[in-house]
Amino acid sequence: MKYRDLYINGTWRSGATAERFDVINPADETIIASVASADIADAEAALDAAETAMAVWAKQTPRHRSEVLRNAWALLSARLDEFARLITLENGKAKGDALAEAKYAAEFFRWFSEEPVRVDGIVKHAPESGARILVQHKPAGIAVLVTPWNYPAAMGTRKIAPALAAGCAVIVKPAAETPLTMLALMPLLEEAGVPAGLVNVLPTTQSAELVDHLLHDERVRVVSFTGSTAVGRKLLRSAADQVLKPAMELGSNAPLIVLEDANLDLAIEGTMKAKMRNLGEACTAANRIYVHEDIAVEFTRRLTAEMVRLNVGDGSQDGIDVGPLVNASTRDKVARFVEDAVSRGAKIETGGFVPEGKGFFYPPTVLSNVPDDAACVHDEIFGPVAAVQTFRDHDDVIRRANDTEYGLVAYVFSENMKRALQVCERLEFGMVGLNRGLVSDPAAPFGGVKQSGLGRKGGHEGMLEFMETQYISASW
């Protein structure tokens, strides 16, 4: 398998220490590849390359940056199947999910290819002095991008594309579980016209030390991270030393509320997407499912029937809907959530066990009568477990939905638009899916409030995360 080394300044390197680590196929626990592990010396080489490349790239015209990103979209779009297979191999997700991710990843290049020419400035008179006020946006500087394992392609392109559109160089630190997809993207970016040194990729087993070193280099001005709130807090502490611009997409505990007047067909379809997209290993996954007690029995019956229909197995095989979880610790955590909920009175409608044999599989699971004190109500499940609770009063369910430190995304299902929008506006979340189970879109400002993060990915706002605003006061 090609592209298993570090990618620095447009070349493939074994790394300063020659240390390597194994990437495991979660479907059968076999070793896929041995990948080079970066250390501090490699980080310094990447910083030097990024500094040199950015000095040239930041001066390129917006149209030039647009065309390079458009090339990247076209090239990735032509190779979706190839990247989907690699995503499945190292992440485990089923073919359909992997192909959807590859397409989603490509769309970030297309969206942000259209953004460099849309950066508007301001020229106006100061009301009192009469001086001209000139406002413009400039590239912030080198950006460190720390990406998770659950979307090894899309979480990278969602950061790389806006950074390049803004005129920045980047250093990508992919998750050790899934470095292969990001490494495979580099030859494609070369072909698209991305100059050497502008994008550098440093897989490593020393994530904390390497990232901390990068964040304390004065040439770095932005840190963009997707992952847990606990790790995000640590990175924010490090970022504070250099007063870096932080773009943080952190933990979630998404409520999904089904009101009594919801269209059940639409609600079931939306719940399946919100819960089972990417096997529930998504920050947008519905974590707490609140169903009005008048329709809870029918909703649970129909949701269980849909979950039972899903085929579990090696995601690379035809006809598989649900692949394995990414590793043993993730699977075991999901199993503990189920055991805890059952010990507190929840009922297993389907699933709820760790199957025998190789691979990190856990079957689609529905729990009913889940109490508020269950661990899965307060922590992110990150797996294929639908925890169903009931409610009677709208004020009460809104209070329960908001009763979390997180605030990334929520979902509401109702046929009464006035009532639904009133509920949406009272929810303390950065995004709300109304009568749909999918909120992610390259054109939308993706992000949360409270301890779910800072800043926005996607939309015009996504590029501004990698830019600084400069104001010139001028007289002539």
**Best CA proximity match to 53, nearest among 170, 165, 183, 162:** 170
Q: Give the tokens for residue 186.
A: 């580099």
CA distance 273 to 374: 23
The order of strands in the sheet holding 170-173 is 11-13, 6-8, 199-201, 170-173, 142-146, 220-226, 245-249, 453-454
Instruction: Label residue 236 left, alpha or beta by phi (over 0 means left) and psi (-120 to 50 means alpha).
Output: alpha
**Best CA proximity match to 161, nearest among 224, 204, 210, 232:** 224
Q: Give the tokens for residue 247.
A: 């773009």
Q: Are strands 409-413 and 254-258 parallel, antiparallel or unpaired?
A: parallel
Catalytic residue ranges: 249, 283
Q: Are strands 132-139 and 11-13 parallel, antiparallel or unpaired?
A: unpaired
SS3 103: helix
**Residue entry with tokens 């760790």:** 354
Residue 198 backbone dihedrals phi, psi, to 5 degrees: -75, -35
Q: Are strands 286-292 and 431-434 parallel, antiparallel or unpaired?
A: unpaired
Greatest Cα pair distance, the chain, in angstroms, is 78
- Look up residue 180 and give its amino acid: L
CA distance 158 to 271: 25
**Best CA proximity match to 78, nearest among 46, 51, 110, 42:** 110
Q: Can you state the percent helix, strand and coil of the chain, rounding each to 5? A: 40, 20, 35
- Look up residue 86 and give its amino acid: L
Report how far apart the first and last C-alpha atoms of the chain are (Å, whole number).
Answer: 62
Q: In this structure, are residues 346 and 325 in contact, taking their beta carbons and an 8 Å threshold?
A: no
CA distance 204 to 211: 10
Instruction: Label residue 377 left, alpha or beta by phi (over 0 means left) and psi (-120 to 50 means alpha).
Output: alpha
User: Residues 294, 300, 304, CA angle at the centre, nearest 5°?
Assistant: 165
CA distance 378 to 388: 13
